[in-house]
Amino acid sequence: MISDRWYKNAVIYCCAIETFLDTDGDGVGDFEGMSRRLDYLQGLGVTAVWLMPFQPSPRRDHGYDITDYYGVDPRYGSLGDFVAFTHGANARGIGVIMDLVVNHTSDQHPWFRSAREGPDSPFHDWYVWADRKPPDAEKGIVFPGVQKTTWTRDARAGKYYFHRFYEFQPDLNFANPEVRTEILKIMGFWTQLGVAGFRLDAVPFVIALPDPETGKEKPDYELLREFREFVQWRSGNAVLLAEANVTPGENMRYFGDDGDRMQMMFNFHLNQHLFLALATGEAKPLADAITATRDLPATAQWALHLRNHDELDLGRLTEAERGKVFAAFGPEPEAQLYGRGIRRRLAPMLHGDRRRIELANSLLFTLPGTPVLRYGDEIGMGDDLSLPERECARTPMQWSDLEHGGFTRARKPTKPVIPEGVYGYRHVNVAAQRRDPESLLNWFERIIRMRKEVPEIGLGRPRLLRVDDPAVLAMRYDGDAGSVVFLHNLSDRAREISFRAGPKAAGESLVNLLSEDHSVAGDDGRHVVLLEGYGYRWFRRADADGVMLA
Ligand code: NOJ
Q: What are phi and psi of 199, to 5 degrees?
A: -95, 110
**CA 503 and chain centroid, separation:** 36
Of 50, 54, 43, the C-alpha closest to 92 is: 43
Which atom of ligand 1 lies at the shortest distance from residue 101's CA? 11
Q: How many angstroms separate the alpha carbon of residue 15 from the centre of ligand 1?
A: 14
Residue 165 CB–ligand 1 contact under 6 Å: yes
Beta strands in 201-245 (DSSP E): 208-210, 217-219, 239-242
Note whether 380 and 468 are same-domain residues.
no
- CA–CA dist 443, 365 (Å, integer): 12
Q: How many angstroms separate the alpha carbon of residue 426 from the centre of ligand 1?
A: 31
Residue 64 CB–ligand 1 contact under 6 Å: yes
Q: Are 130 and 159 spatial neighbours (Cβ–Cβ below 8 Å)?
A: yes
Note whether 57 and 149 are same-domain residues.
no
Note whether 429 and 470 are same-domain residues.
no
Quickly list H helices, 216-351.
Answer: 222-234, 248-255, 268-280, 284-292, 319-329, 346-349
Q: Are 43 and 439 spatial neighbours (Cβ–Cβ below 8 Å)?
A: no
Please give the chain's pLDDT, 550 residues, in tens: 456 899 999 999 999 999 999 999 999 999 999 999 999 999 999 999 999 999 999 999 999 999 999 999 999 999 999 999 999 999 999 999 999 999 999 999 999 999 999 999 999 999 999 999 999 999 999 999 999 999 999 999 999 999 999 999 999 999 999 999 999 999 999 999 999 999 999 999 999 998 878 888 999 999 999 999 999 999 999 999 999 999 999 999 999 999 999 999 999 999 999 999 999 999 999 999 999 999 999 999 999 999 999 999 999 999 999 999 999 999 999 999 999 999 999 999 999 999 999 999 999 999 999 999 999 999 999 999 999 999 999 999 999 999 999 999 999 999 999 999 999 999 999 999 999 999 999 999 999 999 999 999 999 899 999 999 999 999 999 998 899 999 999 999 999 999 999 987 788 999 999 999 999 999 999 999 999 999 999 999 998 777 887 6
Q: How many angstroms separate the alpha carbon of residue 142 from the centre of ligand 1?
A: 10
Note whether 24 and 122 are same-domain residues.
no
Which atom of ligand 1 lies at the shortest distance from residue 61's CA? 7
Note whether 74 and 154 are same-domain residues.
no
CATH of the domain at 125: 3.90.400.10
CATH of the domain at 465: 2.60.40.1180
Q: Which domain holds residue 334?
A: 6-102+190-203+240-452
Domain boundary among 432, 452, 472: 452
Residue 101 CB–ligand 1 contact under 6 Å: yes
DSSP 462-531: -EEPP-S-TTEEEEEEE-SS-EEEEEEE-SSS-EEEEE--STT-TT-EEEESSSS--EE--TTS-EEEEE
Q: How many angstroms separate the alpha carbon of residue 243 from the centre of ligand 1?
A: 9
CB atoms within 10 A of CB 520: 13
Query: What pLDDT sits at residue 2?
Result: 58
Q: Are 330 and 383 spatial neighbours (Cβ–Cβ below 8 Å)?
A: no
Query: What pLDDT sits at residue 481?
Result: 81
Note whether 276 and 138 are same-domain residues.
no
Three-state secondary-structure class, residue 359: helix
- CA–CA dist 123, 477 (Å, integer): 52
Note whether 381 and 468 are same-domain residues.
no
CATH of the domain at 323: 3.20.20.80
Q: Which of 50, 51, 54, 64 to mutate to test the pocket of ligand 1 (most atoms within 8 A of CB)?
A: 64
CB atoms within 10 A of CB 460: 20
Residue 310 CB–ligand 1 contact under 6 Å: yes
Q: How many angstroms separate the alpha carbon of residue 202 from the centre of ligand 1?
A: 7
Q: Which of 50, 59, 101, 166 to mutate to test the pocket of ligand 1 (most atoms within 8 A of CB)?
A: 101
For ligand 1, atom 4, the nearest C-alpha belongs to 310
Residues classed as catalytic? 201, 243
Per the domain annotation, does 533 fall within a domain? yes
Strand partners, 151: 162
For ligand 1, atom 3, the nearest C-alpha belongs to 310
Residue 268 CB–ligand 1 contact under 6 Å: no
Residue 329 CB–ligand 1 contact under 6 Å: no
> Edge to edge, what strands does the sheet with 336-337 contain?
312-313, 341-342, 336-337
Three-state secondary-structure class, residue 190: helix
Q: What are phi and psi of 159, to 5 degrees?
A: -140, 170
